[in-house]
Amino acid sequence: MSHVHPTAAAAPRAPLITAERVNKHFGPAHVLRDVTTAFYEGEVAVIVGASGSGKSTFLRTLNRLEKHDSGRIVVDGIELDDSVRNLDAIRREVGMVFQQFNLFPHLTALENVSLAPRKVRKAPREEANRAALEILTRVGLQDHAHKHPHQLSGGQQQRVAIARSLAMQPKVLLFDEPTSALDPEMINEVLDVMKDLAAAGMTMVVVTHEMRFAREAGDRILFFDQGSILQEAAPDPFFDDQQHPRIRAFLGQIE
Ligand code: ADP
Ligand code: MG
């Protein structure tokens, strides 16, 4: 499954998300330092870097799970600020998938997926269920729709979590180490679903340690180091012609 890479020759694309000199402190710790980047429609951006380098915090600022201290974040033309209306609009456009799947244990897969469309979008039950089943089919879980999370494997639960995000028809999906909590034999079924989404044109920002995924599905790699983006590069130069000693050391440890 090869992802269609936007070519350099294509017309200039509008960024879906821009971050401009974003800073974040936790008490005395300065965990995001002037982070500036942009994410484009249809792009798969992969964020890598050592533990504690600020990857999760950055991802979480993009939908206001963390509030940035200074700088600007604009999502699809909407400024991420203290306006509740802006935040609601942005949360509708930005889906997030976590390491821990965070499914509701007392709801079936189908109910987990149809819940937000019913509550937030006020979709009628039948319509929401039909759409949910369609999405569960897309992630290969049509036969598990009526199971509860504890009856599903970790890989299946994470696919339900992805389906749940998709149900809100987000413009961009953020993934924070979506396979880190999984047994090794379940990692690929989740990565395959993510590759399918990428191939279908979904805009994705993915924090991961899965370097093969980064190489195969990523359009761009961002390397975080101590709260800053130390390098942004296409996968080929990033992995095959890496000059930066710190990034070389990181890749040497992880691959
Ligand atoms: P990564 O995802 O790259 O491992 P994080 O964004 O989770 O890094 O963390 C960056 C830094 O911020 C770390 O030093 C971490 O300990 C600190 N940190 C993260 N979340 C909090 C929090 N809620 N309160 C205090 N410190 C935090
Ligand atoms: Mg993290």
Give the predicted TM-score (pTM) of the model: 0.93
120 pLDDT band (50/70/90 cuts)? confident
At 184-212, the pLDDT tens digits run: 999 999 999 999 999 999 999 999 999 99
Model confidence at 9: pLDDT above 70: no
pLDDT value, residue 12: 61
Ligand 1: nearest atom to the Cα of 176? 2
Provide Rg for the chain, Cα atoms: 18
Ligand closest to the CA atom of residue 53: 1
3-state secondary structure the chain: CCCCCCCCCCCCCCEEEEEEEEEEEECCEEEEEEEEEEEECCCEEEEEECCCCCHHHHHHHCCCCCCCCEEEEEECCEECCCCHHHHHHHHHHEEEECCCCCCCCCCCHHHHHHHHHHHCCCCCHHHHHHHHHHHHHHCCCHHHCCCCHHHCCHHHHHHHHHHHHHCCCCCEEEEECCCCCCCHHHHHHHHHHHHHHHHCCCEEEEECCCHHHHHHHCCEEEEEECCEEEEEECHHHHHHCCCCHHHHHHHHHHC
pLDDT value, residue 13: 74
Share of the chain above pLDDT 90, in %: 88
pLDDT value, residue 7: 52
pLDDT value, residue 254: 82
Which candidate, 44, 2, 34, places its Cα nearest to that of 208? 44
pLDDT value, residue 55: 98
pLDDT value, residue 159: 98
Question: Does ligand 1 lie within 6 Å of residue 26's CB atom?
Answer: yes
Task: Please choose from 22, 25, 26 the residue to mutate so as to test ligand 1's pocket, defined by most ligand atoms within 8 A of CB.
Answer: 26
At 41-94, the pLDDT tens digits run: 999 999 999 999 999 999 999 999 999 999 999 999 999 998 989 988 898 899
Model confidence at 8: pLDDT above 80: no
At 134-155, the pLDDT tens digits run: 999 999 999 999 999 999 999 9
Ligand closest to the CA atom of residue 226: 1
Q: Phi, psi (5° rounding) for residue 89?
A: -60, -45
Q: How far apart are the C-alpha atoms of 152 and 92, rounded to whole Å? A: 27
Residues in Cβ contact with 27 at an 8 Å cutoff, skipping those fewer than 6 apart: none
For residue 233, count other CB atoms closer than 10 A to its CB: 17
Model confidence at 255: pLDDT above 90: no
Model confidence at 4: pLDDT above 70: no
pLDDT value, residue 1: 43
Ligand closest to the CA atom of residue 99: 2
Task: Please choose from 57, 65, 67 the residue to mutate so as to test ligand 1's pocket, defined by most ligand atoms within 8 A of CB.
Answer: 57
| Six token digits for residue 165 | 């995000």
Ligand 1: nearest atom to the Cα of 27? 25
Q: How far apart are the C-alpha atoms of 1 and 178, rounded to whole Å? A: 20
At 221-247, the pLDDT tens digits run: 999 999 999 999 999 999 999 999 999
What value, to the nearest 5°, has the Cα angle with vertex 107 and ends 113 and 208? Answer: 55
